[in-house]
Amino acid sequence: MSWIENRFEEGMIITSVDWAINWGRKSSIWPMTFGLACCAIEMMAVGASRFDIDRFGAGAFRASPRQADLMIVAGTVTYKMASRVKRLYNQMAEPKYVMAMGACTIGGGPYFKHGYHVVKGVDLVVPVDIYVPGCPPRPEALLEGLMRLQDKIQHQSIARDRWTGAKKDAFAAATV
Amino acid sequence: MTPEEIADILKDKFGDKLTGQKFETAHPHVVVARDAWHEVAVFLRNDERLKFDMLRCISAVDLLEDEQFEAVYDLHSTNGALNAAQNWTERHEFCVRVRVPRDKPHIDSVADVWIAAEWHEREAYDLMGIVFDGHPDSVEGPQGPHPRRILCPDDWVGHPLRKDYVFPMEYNGIPAVTEHGQTRPIH
């Protein structure tokens, strides 16, 4: 939760500020360069000119988690990698979002039953905002996931807690 | 050279250290006793007729019914020169198997004979639990030194490709088995 969130009651000014902040956030979702397996190939295709994720302002793949807003977990997360995924997530600055791309990342995929080394869904490690199914997903599916994430960001409000959606009393929040 | 000829050379030199052989198969091989394996490996590499200078791979087999593990060494010789068709004029391949009991799976490391064995032995230890004694990249374990793990995390318990391997319920706080009504954590 960022410093500005959950400190105000909803009103005409707040909703206008919300609109501006959310417009800025959703129009420049910078993803992290983070490909783990074959899904990363589709992610690269999305970044290239044919599908062009830059149309949505999300084409600036950052090489550092500290500059990124979105972690696209593209590929099989092994137990060995899970601690690194968690650390990278913790290094990202708020507001941060996670997209689980592909069957392995959503729930273990083909490794669910007999894969001894695969985390059965990256949501066991980090909180996930958007799930993009597929093995691997088509680039269009990833773009769809990005648009749904933009919808999600558009409906955020600084008067609500981002994680729980709860409205808090402004004065109570100020005295904390 | 045919596998039978190679086996004859080995038999002249080592005799009863060869405990088995099979040639009527797609993968002709001999079985070498565990205590003679390093000596045989040096001979296979250095002998002028054989000159197996390349270790293709080490496969580990879990013979659960026989209470044994088996390490399968695929050898290849690039002896000779390239001819006009860009093929080696003389090359042959061979397979040696070493069997060890499951309760004491120790084989002498051949990483000093073929450098390729270094990471193959680490992998065989990691996934099947065959301990290669004298491995250059050994770490200390509860049952003495063993090769360092290569694929699984260093603190992993067990050897996943054994037939009697039991899947962990949890690894470092991450639920590993989700079939038994496992609920997702609330972050």
B186 part of a folded domain: no
**Chain A residues whose beta carbon lies within 8 Å of the beta carbon of residue B152:** 79-80, 117
- Average pLDDT on A135-139 reads 93
CATH number of the domain that B144 lies in?
3.30.460.80
Nearest CB to A116; choose among B160, B175, B185: B160
- Name the residue among B77, B128, B139 with its Cα closest to residue B98: B128
B49 part of a folded domain: yes
B177 part of a folded domain: no
Residue B19, domain extent: 3-158
B26 part of a folded domain: yes
- Biggest CA pair distance of chain B: 69
Residue-level pLDDT at B93: 86
B131 part of a folded domain: yes
Tell me how far apart the alpha carbons of residues A105 and A93 are, in angstroms, rounded to a whole number: 22
pLDDT digits (tens, 9 = 90+) for B18-68: 998 999 988 899 999 999 999 999 999 998 888 888 999 999 999 999 999
C-alpha radius of gyration, chain B, whole number? 20
pLDDT digits (tens, 9 = 90+) for B130-169: 999 999 999 998 888 999 999 999 889 899 999 988 888 8
B147 part of a folded domain: yes
Answer with the residue of higher pLDDT: B86 or A53: A53
Instruction: Kindly determine whether residue B174 and residue A119, on different chains, have CB atoms separated by under 8 Å.
Output: yes
B40 part of a folded domain: yes
Domain count, chain B: 1
Encoding tokens for residue A58?
């999300």
* Across A58-62, A167-171, B83-87, least confident range: A167-171
Residue-level pLDDT at A86: 93
B169 part of a folded domain: no
Q: What is the pTM of this model?
A: 0.81
Residue-level pLDDT at A168: 56
Contacts of A51 (CB under 8 A, 6+ apart): A45, A139, A140, A143
- Average pLDDT on A15-34 reads 91
User: What is the pLDDT confidence band of residue A69, given thresholds at 50, 70 and 90?
Assistant: very high
Mutate one of B169, B171, B180, B186 to test the A interface: name it (highest A CB count within 10 A): B171
